[in-house]
Amino acid sequence: MTDQQAVLTWRDGGVPVSDRFDDPYFSLQDGLAETRHVFLAGNGLPERFAPGFHIAELGFGTGLNMLTAWAAWERAGQDTPLRFTSFEAFPMAAEDRARALDAFPELEPWVARFWAGWTGARCDLPTLRLEVIHGDARQTLPAWRGAADAWFLDGFSPAKNPELWQPDLMAEVARHTAPGGTAATYTAAGFVRRGLEAAGFTVERHPGYGRKRHMTRAFLS
Ligand SMILES: C[S@@+](CC[C@H](N)C(=O)[O-])C[C@H]1O[C@@H](n2cnc3c(N)ncnc32)[C@H](O)[C@@H]1O
């Protein structure tokens, strides 16, 4: 294990909690439903899916968001690769990821194919072109040459992981968003919304998932 590898505690049997950030990787209530509400619907997906569509994410974590998006992509009838780029500083050990994903039997067909193609940083399959860029997103995102149609902003809570929500990084998110692109996040923290606005996004507050009253949707015109 490297210093940078994620160290976890398991809550309620199946929810991984980061020791470093003292925060769960996904909703204790229902991670899959939260991903669909916040990151898919929040970015107007699956309706906006089209060949070549590119999702980018801050915080790959377990891969739950990626797998949920990829399943939605295939269920929408897309048969070309969904492009998915995720930035991750503290990768999970394979056995931890497998345990976390076990909680979502509905995703099992996608989980199995993901493992079959996963190199540790990439997964190239007929309907998925995944790249996980390892390292601190504050360094790796500015150096990235891509542009996403939709962003999943999924750091740990802004109070516990503030470095992943700073205005400078939100400006890099905007700089790496295709024209007409969007971003969504589960948080409605004021400094995150202001950072997105300062970066050029039009920001809206929407009902959040579960116990969270609000979430944020952002549009780049
Ligand atoms: C809430 S979890 C992401 C959950 C994930 N999207 C999923 O589907 O399971 C937040 C993630 O952000 C990562 N992270 C925290 N600080 C980071 C940084 N500075 N750069 C890149 N990733 C970071 C954490 O290691 C963690 O995997």
CATH number at residue 58: 3.40.50.150
DSSP structure string for 151-186? EEE--S-TTT-GGGS-HHHHHHHHHTEEEEEEEEES
Quote the mean pLDDT of the chain: 96
Band (pLDDT 50/70/90 cuts) for residue 3 is: low
Question: How many angstroms separate the CA atoms of 53 and 210, rounded?
Answer: 29
Domain that holds residue 47: 8-220
pLDDT, tens digit (0-9, with 9 covering 90-100), for 125-161: 999 999 999 999 999 999 999 999 999 999 999 999 9
How many percent of the chain have pLDDT more than 70? Answer: 99
Give pTM, 2 decimals.
0.97
> What local confidence, expressed as pLDDT, does residue 100 receive?
95
Q: How many domains does the chain have?
A: 1
Residue 103 has pLDDT above 70, yes or no: yes
User: Can you tell me which atom of ligand 1 is nearest the CA of 67?
Assistant: 8
98 domain residue, yes or no: yes
Question: How many angstroms separate the CA atoms of 177 and 32, rounded?
Answer: 25
Residue 85 in contact with residue 57, Cβ under 8 Å? yes
From 32, 57, 90, 168, mutation site for ligand 1 pocket: most ligand atoms within 8 A of C-beta: 90
How far, in whole angstroms, is CA 54 from its chain's centroid?
A: 12
1 domain residue, yes or no: no
- Report the pocket of ligand 1 as residue ranges, CB < 6 Å: 6, 25-26, 57, 59-65, 87-90, 136-138, 154-156, 161, 163-164
> What local confidence, expressed as pLDDT, does residue 179 receive?
96
From 58, 165, 166, mutation site for ligand 1 pocket: most ligand atoms within 8 A of C-beta: 58
